Amino acid sequence: MSASLNTAVATAAAATADPACAEPLAVLGRDVTVPLVTGGEVTYAALDYAASAPALQRVWDDVAAYAPYYGSVHRGAGYLSQLSTDLFEQSRVTVAEFLDCRPTDQVVFTRSTTDSLNLLAAVLPAGCQVFVFETEHHASLLPWADAQVTYLNAPRTPAEAVATLERALADREPYGPALVCVTGASNVTGELWPVRELAAAAHAHGARIVLDAAQLAPHHPVSVQELDVDWVAFSGHKLYAPFGSGVLAGRADWLQEADPYLAGGGASRKVSRREDGGVDVEWHTTAARHEAGSPNVIGVYSIASACRALTEAGFENLVAREQRLVARVREGLADVPAVRVLSLFGDDAPRVGVISFVVDGWNSSHFAAALSAEYGIGVRDGLFCAHPLVRTLLGSEPQAQGECGAPEAAPGERSLNAIRVSFGAGTPDEHVDRFLDAVRELVTDGAKWQYRTEEGRCVPTV
């Protein structure tokens, strides 16, 4: 495991008794109540942070305070445009500091992690080969269609991951430019990957590496310099800033040498007509080269606000509190014999607050629907945009058909799905306790309501 991530987990374990870890950060929607099919209402337990985390109250307040002063950036002479431009560019500095970027790195604002990795795919140098583990989220697995891609089998230990990558890079033909794409924390199992060791292996074999930090950045400090990655990508909506922005940060050379990701205003520095009637374009060499169009200023500012809020709260405290919740959930699920938690690296692997599991005798869609309808708990079921990984983890064990049918399978394949519970800095202890009580009750007593399949989803019968 990467030294910095290992240190963070160890620090968390030592700090669990710290009173400062006791309270979650305030998030928007923390008092929302939802109806139960069995009658009455309950405060909603949002345990689907791995999909989208709720906005921090601090982020919402910052956005609300700025909104009356919103103006177009980089183009206006008016006061609001000048103020918005300063705020937009200062947000770039804030994100660079949050990620501990190198002085020469660029921070490019995008729509999401998916958009960031597609941007990087669009600027790969000619002949670049891409190496990616089959365990990746589809955002990391799929953008490389125009490159020669080597998909690596799922490793069962961090050491095996490093050894597998080293062999693949050493054996590549031709021995030219290469890029490794790897997650920092699995969106299925929550397990931490050995990012620093993988980066060292990549660089030793003349390759570069991009870190998908979508599931890591909300849970742990991410240092570009300590991990020695070339780029890092993440989304605002997982970092408590769900306003439609993302980040690609890292080395500038490939970004500067490639054509803009999108062509248009903002990316162009100078456009002139030629004598033959055509157009000559001089593109920016800064991050603006890949930020054509009017940027999402509020989305960018919300990311910067979240970065400041997490930093000021103290990541040591946040990690410590989350690790306490991780231990509570894992211990609670281990006490239910019918539950099997999915893991790639084993029970002792350090992980963030993302845990997937299956329940004997239940289809996962049915179980997740009952958690929502009868207990007001929001989790996720399915394959989590990581189909190869979930299928590997589930192996040959088919899901029970249950009262609701499992999601349709492709021809010749079995239908497989799992349940994922995920949490973070805004999760109250009560939500975790209610979830564990609900799991035990459903396994012991079954659902109180009837369910049916409607448009591929399991829903309560009305």
Q: Cα separations (Å) of 122 from 15, 61, 126, 255?
A: 43, 36, 11, 9
Residues with Cβ within 8 Å of 277's Cβ and at least 6 positions away in sequence, in order, are none
Evaluate whether 279 touches 72 at the Cβ level (below 8 Å): no
Ramachandran sector of residue 179 (left: φ over 0; alpha: ψ -120 to 50; beta: rest): beta
| Strand duo 418-422 + 354-359: pairing | antiparallel
Distance of CA 207 to the CA centre of its chain: 24
**Separation between Cα atoms, residue 200 and residue 209, nearest integer Å:** 9
Q: Which of 431, 396, 402 shows the shortest CA–CA distance to 416?
A: 396
Based on the number of CB atoms within 10 Å of its own CB, is 300 exposed (0-12), middle (13-18) or buried (19 or more)?
A: buried
Where do we find the tokens 């014999």?
337
Is residue 385 annotated as a catalytic residue, yes or no? yes
Tokens coding 30: 């923390």
Active-site residue identified among 181, 307, 385, 404: 385
Evaluate whether 449 touches 370 at the Cβ level (below 8 Å): yes
Q: Which residues are designated catalytic?
A: 385
